[in-house]
Amino acid sequence: MLIKFYIKPKKGVLDPQGRAVAENLRSLGFNTVQDVKVGKYIEVYIDETDKEKAVEIVKNMAKKAIVNEIIEDFEFEIVEVNINEYEITKGLNLKQDIGFGSKI
């Protein structure tokens, strides 16, 4: 399975990169830009076929290694793929609510 993590700063946390991108976009004439959040996108491939077990693995990964829950929010997708056959264009959009933290 492929796990796609989408991570961004929590609301209220300073995001200097987001602010710089927003200011740059406005300077280029995109005056409707209100705010920008710059985050991270991480792909993790796991050897698991049971979706419920995969969700538990993802929660543990997020808490222990991938997400700083103090300053970051995240959500993830689980994509059922054979790692040997995976191509960038084959992703399925199977967003999962993880049950803790804030959803992006």
Q: Residue 88's pLDDT is what?
A: 46
- Domain contains 104: no
pLDDT of residue 74: 95
For the cut 80, the answer to whether the pLDDT of residue 98 exceeds it is no
CATH (domain of 52): 3.30.1280.10
Q: How many domains does the chain have?
A: 1
Note the pLDDT tens digit of each residue in 23-81: 999 999 999 999 999 999 999 999 998 999 999 999 999 999 999 999 999 999 999 87
Q: Is the pTM here over 0.85, yes or no?
A: no
Looking at residue 93, its pLDDT comes to: 45
Q: Is residue 25 part of a domain?
A: yes
Instruction: List the structure tokens of 62.
Output: 């997020």
- Identify the helix (H) or strand (E) that includes residue 5: strand 2-9
Residue 101 lies in a domain: no
- The span from the CA of 46 to the CA of 56, in Å, is 12
